[in-house]
Structure 1
Amino acid sequence: MDMSTVFTQRSLATTDVRIDLHPGYKRVFRQHELTVGLILPLETHPDSPQPAMRDHIAMAQRAEDLGVAALWARDIPFYDPTYGDVGQIFEPLIYLTHLAAATRHITLGTAGVVLPMREPLLLAKQLNSLDHLTDGRLVVGMSSGDRPSEYPVFGIDFETRGERFREAFRVYRNVSERAFPRFTSPHFGQSAGSLNMLPKPPYGRTPAIAVGRSQQTLSWVAENMDGFLGFVPDPEDLGGFAKDWQDVVQQTSGGDTFKPLAFGGFLYLHPKPNHPFKRIKGGFAIGSRALRHFLEQARDVEVNHVALNPKVTPRPYTEILEELGSIVLTVFSGK
């Protein structure tokens, strides 16, 4: 199909966007089901802040073959030794584009783009383009950031990040989805409606989920975004974690509305398969069979996705991936 035709057809403002038709969204978020994703890099480095990034393409391809539903890239512009972690090193949107060329179906997501530090007009152009070039495999996780040291480098007051998040999100959605948008923003310019941004999202809207509350109320997240990814709850708190989200979705969007719920964090995959859940900094330790049971509990209370980062596990990543494939992904496949 001539791409100019696609852009013309989809440049109109979308009133009834069927987000459930978006391929990347459908692969990760399924009502009454749970899928598993991996947070990049696909490498363990428990004693170093920086991964080597060796064999990362082969690991991504193997993860796709095993039924991992999504690969999630973090947005960390600078290395802060206080935090001791640089994520996947590469800029997330550029890296996801690289991974898209090496994979076929797996969803590619951000967890999450630090929206207050992003210029929303250029971000809209980048995300719409990437969603097209990946054939609808992009899901955008957005956050407000949690590293105060980065904000002064960008000339931004850390305390304003919640307000900037809302403002940037409004501008992003407006220029991304509407034809010849009109807007005025204190920080991000204005438009009288004489200019149009192309391409528009290939499925009407590129799914956007909140990674953490982003300094917003849970009601705001439920009303404005397409899902929520929170921090890993303890097993006994799964029911309350899910109910809080389900209640606010019902209040803001109606009882028949499906807006997915997810959680994520570091995973120490214990060598003993039945090792029970134990809290660690930034996540949890657990054995593979106990993990499967934990995820069954999460699925039963309507959690739809878990994003795991095994970087803290002192074992080869290939070993971790194969163990997840044989014990966990046989039940929670994203194929």
Structure 2
Amino acid sequence: MTTAVMKFPDGLDQGIFSKVFRPGALTFGLIAPLEGYPESAIPTMHQHTELAKQADEGGFSAIWLRDVPFFDPSFGDVGQIYDPMVYGAWLAAATRNIAIGTAGIVLPLRDPLIVAKQATSLDHLTGGRFLLGLSTGDRPIEYPVFGSDFNNRSERFRAAHALLRVVTEQSFPIHESAFYGSLEGALDLIPKPFQARLPMLAIGRCGQEIEWLASHLDGWIWHQSNFEQLPAVIDLWRKSCGPEVFKPYGYGAFFELDKDPNAPLRTGRGLHAGRNALIDLWERQREEGVSHVALNLRLSQRAVSDTLDELAEYVIPLFAC
């Protein structure tokens, strides 16, 4: 893939976005909680601060926080338990370099003005290490609880995203929204983003066409899919973004690192392999255009600290650039 002429989205050529996502490079993040809990829907959150520090020191590029307000037994997972914005501030205080990202804020269930206030506040509290990942959610049972219509979530996502951009990028804006009220130029949201603007990424499809995501978001992180079809997916994304603009594509996956470094790759519900097979996989995917892999350790039987140590020593340095 040719990257020499590619440029970052406007306003994102400096700061955390350009550190986590780089043309021709592959970086690695972790999806919280940083523990394996294959037999439970609820993690223990034991030593979570210490493990976040270990990930930071080990060269991981991001910790991703999910937005799961309720325990839905049919869904079977509560994420990291804590609210992502609150937990993000805690992790920011405990780390130095790693990005703190949301994966993703369920925008149709939240007031976008409050999300904007929280996001820019967290952006400053992290020293510009915040990445705002947005989604429409995948749990229909939550929508009636919030008095929200599941069927128009895609339209409300677009309206909420537009409002986020307006209040974080303009001073005393004038804006009319079909779902979220109006601004008449008399009010200004403070603080504004730490850098030129707040990076916003699509987590999943967000109920939108790929072309819309490519035009309005700064990157796309999807779930693990058929790796044989991955080049075609990335090609569609790149064409939708345009040949000169670098908007990263990444994916999240359940993950278990085998103690045997030569264990073969097994896919299905996640990735299970020794480090050598993973290195081969990720080198190929880097060439195919994958920019970021977010690892979810929920299914892992192995101690997370051991997994982080091995990846930090043998894998991450091979992809540093």
TM score, norm. by length of structure 2: 0.94
Equivalent in the alignment of 2:158: 166
Letter in 1 for 2:257: L
Aligned amino acid, residue 319 of structure 2: F
Structure 2 counterparts to residues 17-166 of structure 1, below 5 A: 17-21=10-14, 23-166=15-158
Distance 1:279 1:114 in 2: 28
Q: For each residue in 1:68-117, what CA deviation from the matched residue of structure 2 results, as whole angstroms up to 9, or x when unmatched?
A: 00000000000111111110000001101000001111111001111111
For 2:42 and 2:49, locate their aligned partners in 1 and report how far apart those are by CA, in whole Å: 17
Tell me by how many angstroms 1:269 deviates: 2.5
2-structure distance, mates of 1:27, 1:108: 12
Q: 2:263 pairs with 275, 278, 285, which one?
A: 275
Matched, 1:213 2:200: no
1:213-233 C-alpha deviation (Å, 9 max, x unpaired): 101000000000000011123
CA positional deviation for 1:54: 1.1
Q: Using the alignment, how far apart are the partners of 1:297 and 1:17 within structure 2?
A: 29
Aligned pair in 2 of structure 1 residues 333, 47: CA closer, same or farther (>3 Å)? Answer: farther
Say if 1:109 and 1:138, in contact at 8 Å, map to a contact too.
yes
The 5 A counterparts of 1:198-209 are 198-209=190-201
- The range that moved more, 319-328 or 218-227, is 319-328
User: Residue 267 of structure 1 contacts residue 313 of structure 1 at CA under 8 Å; is this kept in 2?
Assistant: yes
> What CA distance in whole angstroms lies between the structure 1 residues aligned with 2:320 and 2:85?
25
8 Å CA contact retained: 1:35, 1:332: yes
Judged with a 3 Å threshold, the aligned counterparts in structure 2 of structure 1 residues 17 and 242 are, in CA distance, closer, same or farther, namely closer
Which SS does the other structure have where 1:235 is aligned? Answer: coil
CA distance in 2, matches of 1:206, 1:191: 20
List runs of 5+ in structure 2 lacking aligned partners: 1-8
- Structure-2 separation of matches of 1:109 and 1:333: 20
CA–CA separation in structure 2 for the residues paired with 1:173 and 1:304 = 24
Total equivalences in the alignment = 313
Quick check: 1:312 aligned with 2:305? no
Q: Is the 8 A contact 1:131 1:202 kept in 2?
A: yes
Aligned with 1:257 (options 245, 266, 287): 245
Match of 1:240?
A: 232
SS at match of 1:330: helix
Amino acid at match of 1:132: H
Which has the larger displacement, 264-273 or 46-55? 264-273
2:214 aligns with: 222
The one-letter code of the counterpart of 2:177 is S
Which residue in the other structure is 2:5 paired with?
none
SS in 2 for 1:33: coil
Question: How far apart, CA to CA, are the structure 2 residues paired with 1:133 and 1:268?
Answer: 32
TM-score, normalisation: structure 1: 0.90
In 1, the alpha carbon distance for the partners of 2:261 and 2:237 equals 31
CA drift at 1:333: 4.1
1:6 maps to what in 2? none
CA distance in 2, matches of 1:332, 1:312: 25
For 1:30 and 1:243, locate their aligned partners in 2 and report how far apart those are by CA, in whole Å: 17
For residues 69 and 116 of structure 2, the distance between their equivalents in structure 1, rounded to whole angstroms, comes to 19
CA distance in 2, matches of 1:20, 1:77: 33
Q: State the secondary structure of the residue aligned to 2:293.
A: strand
Structure 2 letter corresponding to 1:319: D
Q: List 4+ stretches of structure 1 deviating above 6 A.
A: none
Q: What is the CA–CA distance in structure 2 between the aligned matches of 1:59 and 1:221, rounded to whole Å? A: 33
Letter in 2 for 1:276: P
When structure 1 is superposed on structure 2, of 271-280 and 103-112 the one drifting more is: 271-280
Q: Which residue number corresponds to residue 11 of structure 1?
A: none
